[in-house]
Amino acid sequence: MSPVLRIAANELRLLARTRVAQIAVALVVALSAVAALTAISQGRESQEIRSRFQAQADREFDGQPARHPHRMVHYGHFVFRPLPALAGFDPGVDAFTGSTLFLEGHRQNSANFGDVRQSSLLVRFGQLTPAFVIQALGPLVLIFIGFGALARERESGLLRLHLAQGVGARQVLAGKVVALAAVAGLILAPALIALVWLALFGGAPAPAVAMLAGGYAVYLLVWVLITTSVSALAPSSRSALALLVAGWAVSAILAPRLATDIALAAMPQASRLETDIAIQRDLKKIGDSHNPDDPHFNAFRASVLKSYGVSRVEDLPVNYRGLIAMEGERLTSALFDRYAERQFAGQREQSRMALILGLASPTLAVRSLSMAASGTDLEGHRRFLQQAEAYRYTIVQGLNRLQAEALTFSDDTNRNRDPEAGRRVRIDPGAWRRTPDFVYRPASTAEALTAALPGLALLGLWAGLAGSLAWGAGRRLARGAG
Amino acid sequence: MPAPCSSSPAIEIRDLCVNRGGAQVLKNLQLTVNPGEVYALLGGNGAGKSTTLAVLMGFLRPTSGTARVTGLDTASEAAAVRGRIGYLPETVALYETLSAYENIAYFLGLSGARPTRSEMDAALDAAGLQAEARTRRTAGFSKGMRQKVAIAMALLREAPVLLLDEPTTGLDPVAAADFNRLVSGLRERGTAILMVTHDLLGAADCADRIGLLAGGVIVEEARPRGEVDLLGLHRRLGEAATG
């Protein structure tokens, strides 16, 4: 057995005989295991609930009686975002953004403009997920186990005894790194088992699972290297512990919060209230279809009459009220889309900036990677909103088209005065059943992996930095023994 | 790695200068210890005793001059040098959750040795550690017991050179006498021993030569087996210690 492996094996034997280390590792492994089991069961349960409610919402929409199409436009429809297979592992922004939208005519759901950027690890402290356990608690346990690995041995003279056997200082450091990495593997094991289970039985894509497993392994390795290096470099074991705990607090607690706040301050977004006011102001500018003097709708009417070669809306072969509804929806939706795109663009910039700030913390880097690979990042939420909006526009315009083509202008105008007209404007309920159901198309595995690459690159950078620190610490350790 | 010369001294220090923290700790130190010889280096605090050991162990690089162990340069061949040295620190640190056997097996394993239980028992017998203590965790071991474990390690390594750092400090008179006997036994086996100590009487009991180190140089050397004025040497040691 090489000296490095011998030192590592001895370190693990010592840990196995130290009650505090036993308790710390057992606790975090138990937490990780519970989080993994919870992730699997809650993921399945949550998915079942969403599927059940989506089916119920579809049934209720399809089961509506004969109605005027515009009544159905206002009846609306609920859509649920299917839970990504890895959402139990890392819920990401899902808990903050919500996964349910109510779709109806003339309005775009307000969640589009929700303040979804506010998520941080502080808020997420309530969620026991494998991602949280590894991101926040894993490094802390590694610190408590590893802070004295070299500092204490230097203080006691054991380091000198090692070197006196002809072992190099870097070999001693490497042995400690291997031992602490084995502990990190133990901490990671329950989550890895959960990931493999999700890949085999939960429909999680294997490449994304591999990306998560690799990313978290690198993340913990970074902490192993940092912990061991600081233990080698610090003047005493006590100062090593203080330095490492302070570093953990900054990296795992403060940095995510600060990164969000800095991104928000550097690229401020309009609040939801400001956005709502601005939208209402712009809506008024679009025009009023009920106002006979409204310039836009007067021009629209003129162009319709001209294209059909008639002089009165009553002479049109289609129901002009349906055309008006379609035009109104087109205009308002375009306005909503503009605001949503502006908001999305701002949020993307903020996310990009927060990612760059990930240079200051490996936790930020792994969080970015984890959410992207799990499909629970902000981009996934935007994808859902955009697809839901496209679906809303399709069904609303379909109903408006039904109003234009299946109803006469005369019946539609007199439906409240003439009971027969009122009966004729009620469309056969088969039309609701023919409305397509909402089918969410998640990001492809390739897209998810591409989104996770920046986080992986940052983690790689951190691993390089931590490796260099360890290399330098080995040199200092040899000198420090004299 | 150059082959050591069998006829060369076990320890050979020539014109050794070491500067630490802006001060010259060793000044052109000359020292030779031959195989089968015990050399006691005496001196007050700050005289340069521990620095000399650190240089010989390869933990410190000389500012100038050379230090060789069995012909190997301690600066450029530190790892090989350590493989030829048995080292007994002033305070022997052992893993407290491991037994004496486990400590010995682990540390010797690092240098590639694989002592059997009977070999360890023989070494521990020679070092004087009671049999019932050998399987116990070393957490409750006294300084003397720890030292015996370290001595057993040194014996098992069969290193040609033994460096002892204040070996009898903190030992009761009986344990110190036992230790001195052990050192004499090692000398008989041909081991070159350099011990740094404050204990003049102990040194006189087992050393072949005594060097008085003061201000980074050996100011006086004596052979206790011949005619030596121990009281005079003790007085001069005190004077050297107080500067």
Buried-exposed string A422-442: b where 16+ CB fall within 10 A, e elsewhere: eebbebeeebbeebeebebeb
- Which run of H or of E encompasses B117? helix B117-127
Place of tokens 């005190």: B238
Q: Cβ B98–A14 below 8 Å, yes or no?
A: yes
Give me Rg for the CA atoms of chain A: 30
Q: For chains A and B, what is the number of CB pairs under 8 angstroms?
A: 64
Tokens of B219: 């100011």
Average pLDDT across chain A, whole number = 85
Please give the full DSSP string across A360-424, using - where no structure is assigned.
Answer: G-HHHHHHHHHHHHHT-SHHHHHHHHHHHHHHHHHHHHHHHHHHHHHS-HHHHHHTTT-HHHHHH
CA distance to partner chain B, nearest, from residue A169 (Å): 10
Those residues whose C-beta lies under 8 Å from the C-beta of residue A464, and which sit 6 or more positions away, are none
Model confidence pLDDT, tens digit, residues A365-394: 999 899 999 988 888 888 888 888 888 888
Q: What is the pLDDT of residue A114?
A: 36
Which residues of chain A are within 8 Å of residue B106 when distances are taken between CB atoms?
6, 10
Closest CA to B44 of B177, B190, B208, B198: B198
Q: What is the pLDDT of residue B230?
A: 65
Model confidence pLDDT, tens digit, residues A450-471: 888 988 999 999 999 999 999 9
Q: What is the pLDDT of residue B183?
A: 86
Any CB–CB contact under 8 A between A475 and chain B?
no
Residue pair A452/A460 in contact (Cβ under 8 Å)? The answer is no
Closest CA to A184 of A361, A25, A21: A25
Buried-exposed string A210-248: b where 16+ CB fall within 10 A, e elsewhere: ebbbebbbbbbbbbbbbbbbbbbbbeebeebbebbeebb
Q: What is the pLDDT of residue A112?
A: 40
Which residues of chain B are within 8 Å of residue A477 when distances are taken between CB atoms?
none
Which residues of chain B are within 8 Å of residue A13 when distances are taken between CB atoms?
98
Range from A189-193, A222-226, A314-318, A360-364 that averages highest in pLDDT: A222-226
CA distance to partner chain A, nearest, from residue B106 (Å): 8
Sheet holding B11-20, edge to edge: B23-33, B11-20, B64-69, B72-73
Residue pair A234/A243 in contact (Cβ under 8 Å)? The answer is yes
Any CB–CB contact under 8 A between A157 and chain B?
yes
Q: What is the pLDDT of residue A342?
A: 85
Which residues of chain A are within 8 Å of residue B94 when distances are taken between CB atoms?
158
CA distance to partner chain B, nearest, from residue A134 (Å): 29
Ramachandran quadrant class, A435 (left: phi over 0; alpha: psi -120 to 50; beta: rest): beta
Region B151-172 average pLDDT: 84
Q: What is the pLDDT of residue B1?
A: 38
Of B89, B106, B108, the CB nearest to A157: B89
Any CB–CB contact under 8 A between A164 and chain B?
yes
Q: What is the pLDDT of residue A184?
A: 95
Model confidence pLDDT, tens digit, residues B85-112: 888 888 888 999 999 999 999 999 998 8
CA distance to partner chain B, nearest, from residue A159 (Å): 9
Residue A425 clears pLDDT 60, i.e. is over it: yes
Name the amino acid, one letter, at A353: M
Q: Round to whole Å and give the CA distance between A421 and A403.
A: 13
For β-strands B161-165 and B72-73, DSSP reports them as: unpaired
Residue of B nearest to A159 (CA): B93
Model confidence pLDDT, tens digit, residues B209-240: 999 888 888 888 888 765 566 666 666 666 66
Those residues whose C-beta lies under 8 Å from the C-beta of residue A338, and which sit 6 or more positions away, are none
Can you say whether the dihedral through the CA atoms of B98, B99, B100, B101 is positive or negative? negative
Tokens of B90: 């002033």
Which residues of chain A are within 8 Å of residue B97 when distances are taken between CB atoms?
14, 17-18
Specify the 3-state DSSP secondary structure of A184: helix
Model confidence pLDDT, tens digit, residues A140-186: 999 999 999 999 998 888 998 898 888 888 999 999 999 999 999 99
Position B243 confidence tier, pLDDT thresholds 50, 70, 90: low
